[in-house]
Amino acid sequence: MILSDRETPRLEFRSMTVDFGATRALSSLTLSIQPGEIVGMLGHNGAGKSTVLNVATGAVSATDGEILVDGKLLPRKLTPKDAIDLGLTVIHQEPALAQNLSVLDNMFLMRPAPATRTARLQAAQTALNTVDASSSISLHQPVSSLTLGQRQMVDLARSELAGEVRVLFLDEPTAALGDQETRALHDLIREFAAQGTAIIYVSHRLPDIIDVCSRIVVLRGGILVHDQPTANLTVRELARALAPELEQDARIVHMPGTTVLEVELASRLTFAENEVVGLFGMAAGPQFAVLDALFGLTHTPPVAQLDGMPYRPSTPRIAIRAGVHLVPGDREQDGLVAAMSAADNVRLPWLFRRKRSNQSTSTTYVKARADLAILGPGADAPIAEFSGGNRQKHLLARWIYPSRPRVLLLAQPTQGVDISAKSDIRRVVRHLAGEGTAVLVASAETDEIATMCDRAYVFFGSHIVEIPRTDDFDEQLLHTLLDLANLPNETKLEPA
């Protein structure tokens, strides 16, 4: 690769604005990345990170603004093919490869290929050599036999075939990787940067970003709110950049009542009436596995006590009968039935209870709709016709109104919804806790834990640390997670 003039940014956004109808996903973003620079991009869900990647790679058109590569203005109607030809490459968490085809066939899928098989083999092998993957990956093996890390290597090698990789976008690349695969990917990223590639690294895994990035930018609500070298960043600055000012009533600590649930992990975790307790960690971290185990979704039931009695659910049915209810993190995949009516989506797990009359179930739905301030079409309309926030409210209503839970498990309950819906959800969850339900909130977002919870357990690997509610609660969550992750000594991320 040929390095460009260091005075000219490899990638530059000028006043970039992206609107989706009435929603502004990016607002006047101005940002430049130099050749060889690795920039970490942080922000909670909905901050605009994916929009930046999609605009720069031609998947989404900007409403206003400009994108320049090596000082040259890109066309307003940039297409994905244009982006590839210009050396703009994105590697997603799950690469878009055909599982049933060989590595070689995937290399040239939907791309120009040399005329002969020998030439294709040679070109593909050279590309694998470039990403240091030729010793572990055979061109003839099916992609389905590769690990996730190996599939990412194939995706990178495929991008090499298109020519010079000028800008590399990484979208949550290590979310499902182990430590060894993560180190290998970071080594490769450094090699690309050494050859002049500008890299934007999007991730929720803060330790990974700090390990490999020299600079961190933070988006919030589509606005760039922070841009600073990693070495100069403090935990307090990062916490304040990631999360807006917390609502005053969210800072009130509610005193716990009677202990409802005890769970034995690396230490004993307790959950009581009248409090909402957070389980905080990295994206796809062990805090979510705790919820799955308590709802009977794992092969090994947890060692736990519910109201002083042994609780070892082997199936969700057992959990539900014990009064333990789970609101899953992916409402579309694991929660709602799109074609089913709104009311039936709420009643779905309880349809087997034949003693419930149509009148009582109808009354329950009306109450749920009023309490959660659900807006949209009527009860008989398909749930797919409601907005994202109102669909999330329906999923929450399913697990608290037809049958009041003793323990409510919430996986990222306010993600992907607007501010008003978040407030409604927090209000109802707080009321439920006050009436005697133990509430557990698992999340990878500091603002979600900080605005909902009275205290939290921070998870990293097998380590668990309890954090009490303080005025700098959000900062302490991040600080503890970073401490548990054993950050490299050379980083200077220190508490303010």
Whether 248-484 and 11-242 are alike in CATH topology: the answer is yes
Q: How far, in Å, CA of 481 to CA of 339, rounded? A: 41
Neighbouring residues of 350: CB distance < 8 A, sequence distance ≥ 6: 356, 361, 402, 403
- Give the three-state DSSP class for 69: strand
Q: What pTM does this model have?
A: 0.72
Task: Tell me the per-residue pLDDT of 291-332, one tens digit each, with 9 for 90 and over.
Answer: 999 999 998 889 999 999 999 999 999 999 999 999 998 888
The CATH homologous superfamily to which domain 248-484 belongs is P-loop containing nucleotide triphosphate hydrolases (3.40.50.300)
Which residues 6+ apart lie within 8 Å of 58 measured at CB? Answer: 78, 79, 80, 81, 82, 83, 88
In the numeric block, the tokens 């700098």 are attached to 472
> Which residues are paired to 259 by β-bridges?
272
> Would you call 43 helix, strand, or coil by DSSP?
coil
pLDDT tens column, 39-60: 999 987 778 898 999 999 999 9
Helix (H) or strand (E) holding 433: helix 419-434
Q: Which two tokens stand for residue 198?
A: 């500008």
Task: Tell me the domain boundaries of the chain.
Answer: 11-242, 248-484
CATH fold, domain 11-242, is Rossmann fold (3.40.50)
CA distance 246 to 447: 8
Instruction: Determine the Cα–Cα distance for residues 62 and 25; give it in Å rounded to an integer.
Output: 10
Mean pLDDT split into 10-residue runs, the chain, 496 residues: 63 94 89 96 84 92 94 91 89 82 86 83 86 82 87 83 85 77 87 93 85 92 91 78 56 81 94 96 89 94 95 96 95 88 92 58 86 91 89 95 95 83 92 96 91 94 91 88 66 43
pLDDT at 275: 95
